[in-house]
Structure 1
């Protein structure tokens, strides 16, 4: 691919992430083309349709979550779950429109499964270090992410109702429940 074509593609993907993160499925390809500073024909030369572009954006989003999980794996075992969940909270808060249920089948299944596997490893390490209760399961980690996503979306629909960072307070409650009581 020529350098200008590569640059256009990168601009389109970056613009699409911004548009879809803000507007979710309501974001249009026209919105993306305008945000990227390219014409619709340039966008369609790179991506056949909205689904193809959304898949590209979601792949990048989930890859960042995988990178966060891997970074948490490199840190102290007793802090990995907490570090990961805080990072996920920030990503979800900043990119609300990219959360998986909104897009359904367009979420990259292989990356989602890889992320689940890393979360399970983080949990096993934390339990081995004694910082997370043995009765916490990988499904509890997934449920914590779903809960954060729900709280973050409720903040968006009515920010005055809860304050700006309700998700952080909710995460503290979740983490207290995960901690080993002994």
Structure 2
């Protein structure tokens, strides 16, 4: 007598769909992962060195489902801090970097976005409240480090090679570094 063929039936309702169409599922998973990976990693990055603070700052452009966004990563010997800055809106591609007398990092982006970070030697970088934590009222005693600019390819230009300019793009005025404001582009 011949042996009967054993038929396995999955108790999981989608099990049969998976078994019959597993190649389609694998292709769909790869497409989804590839799309996520392409949007999660930076397409461009500039390194901003701050040697006297033993700190390195990375300015990154992240392509996202919408227009994209800028992200800042600050590394020092005590740790790392990562934060999303502004979303990509048209001409807002430039950022000016400053070091305050208290050794805080200030980043002023196109359109008047202002961010401040504590970057001391003995603690991890942290974000500061620009209205409470900075001792300088006008920013005239800040040291200009340089600028980053670009979307597809972000470039860092140190202060020794570029001019200090904050492009407000019609956003009004800022209380910081007033002589270097431009209502349009730099």
More RCO (CA 8 Å, sep 6+): 1
Q: Quick check: which one's strand share is greater? A: 2
The two structures have a TM-score, normalised by structure 1, of 0.24
Structure of higher CA gyration radius: 2
Give the helix-richer structure, 1 or 2: 1
